[in-house]
Structure 1
Amino acid sequence: MSDKHVIAYVGLGIMGRPAASHLLRAGHELRVYARRPEAMEPLAELGATPCKSAAEAAEGARFAFTNVSDTPDVEEVVLGPGGYAESLAAGSVVVDMSTIAPQAARDIAAALAAKDVAFIDAPVSGGQAGAEAGTLAFMCGGAEEAFAAASPLFEIMGSSHVLVGGSGAGQVAKCVNQILIGATVDAVAESFKMARRLGVEPAKVREAIAGGFAGSKVLEVHAKRIIEDDYVPGFKARLHLKDIKIAIEAARGCGVEVPSAEEFRARLEKVIGQGHGEDDSSVAAKALDD
């Protein structure tokens, strides 16, 4: 069996477009669809085939990827009219790189299983920079056989991919990821504000603690944004708000309190209300501004 595949890809935003381009450059045949034709042009210039629907993109595809904003978008692309399910052959695999509710991932997996199509929920961490560099981290839920089949594609787009468990498990891991990032951004914002009030420059504090136990990717990337007051998005605030709401709802559903997630949600809502929805989610730090 050839190690090159026909791959459908829907969701060509700041994450999807660079991720898809890695698959194309690796020699796979890429069929793409976007509501806005201009979104397909950069990939078409690299050799991808633009299509008029997700169903058309999925014709003959072994794998079909989604990288869209929210649960209804995934449901529409995969199961809706003109969606992947209309065209995918038995034995094919749908990989969803979006962040959606864990139960929604399980429901989509069950609907596709009736057609003998596998589904992997594979939300990612790494933002636009990770998508461009091919260093995304994939958190996956689904069957071991489908995960193994898709693993070479994860290796092209990312630096790590882990099968967390069955359907929905990848989305549970992403909920955890988003809570941890949000809580750490809050901690950085609060502690840096304290440092300033005590007459110490946060940039030097960041440098001093980076090599210790407080060092993290958030301290490396988001703290720099906060210090420089530069929130060019790697991951937009409005999308992180969507994700943190999913995490809070999942926690409530199993009776777990997540006060740090609730606090981050409140700060995101405040800054988004001030017009920062398209900025990087670390802009939540501005909720502490006097």
Structure 2
Amino acid sequence: MPFPILDAAAAAVALLLALSIDRWWGEPPAALHPVVWMGRALGACGARVAPAQATGRDLWSFWLAAIAWCALAAIVLVVFGVLQWTAVAHLPAWGAALALGLLLKPLLAWRMLRREVLAVEAALGESLEVGRARLAWLVSRDVRQLDEAQVRESAIESLAENLSDSVVAPLFWFVLLGLPGAALYRFANTADAMWGYPDMRGGRYWQWAGKWAARADDALSWLPARLTALLLWLAARGGVRWGALRALARATPSPNGGWPMGAMALALGVRLSKPGVYVLNAAGRAARAEDTRRAVDLASRSIAALIPLLLAALLLIAIVRRHV
């Protein structure tokens, strides 16, 4: 049996299995969750690489954090590379697919994202204060002064951005580089979430210490973010105008976040904003309660559109390997 075809078949089954596990069972316990382990390692290192007060041009913190990031990334690559090699080399095809699916699942999180976004809307139904409190579980911004529409906007923005970060990107890198690729992406994204800040956070100053983590995540998220925007365009049946989307994508500080968020704003016809930072689709109406459900439905349909694209990519990669 040609090895590349077997490899592609195992990867395809693993991908479908991981999505099925996510749909029916969600996240594994924290004690068994590799992203939780990554976060703990980053937290321990972050307390040592970032200074406790603002500094000027701090190349020492920059390079110290860069070396720490690379060391942790190397550990992630080795661990998941060994796990993948062990599964493929020592298990039958069905066993390898099962093992890879189980290992891939914690590296993506659609069910949890969907649940948290809908929980914000349910909390808003109780009161604005309860909605703000629930939103604080989902986003890192200050929620204390947000009105009802802004709370809802923030939840929808988080849904769009994390559709890329927590679903599309891990699966994209899994298809290209296998389990180590998906794990490296989740590490980079977690590092950016914990270290990639322009100022003080958690009692540490990240302007220089967080630059490497932020740029690494930008690089690894560049293609998946645009792919997510394309998927939302497909889910909206062409309701997103690409010229308008390119303009919106440039309005955000992130080179990537504006693509899925802008696509979601245009697909829903609503305004999305981060007060004092950016406004996406300023001509759109204020988001209403039903827009949260519509946003979740668009994201679900985007994932459904993603699956055949990834399976086709696996088949194409197998064909290219056979003829190289």
**For the superposition of Structure 1 and Structure 2, which TM-score range results when normalised by the shorter chain?**
under 0.3
Give the TM-score normalised by the residue count of structure 1.
0.27
Give the TM-score normalised by the residue count of structure 2.
0.25
Structure with bigger RCO (C-alpha 8 Å, 6+ apart): 2
Greater strand proportion:
1
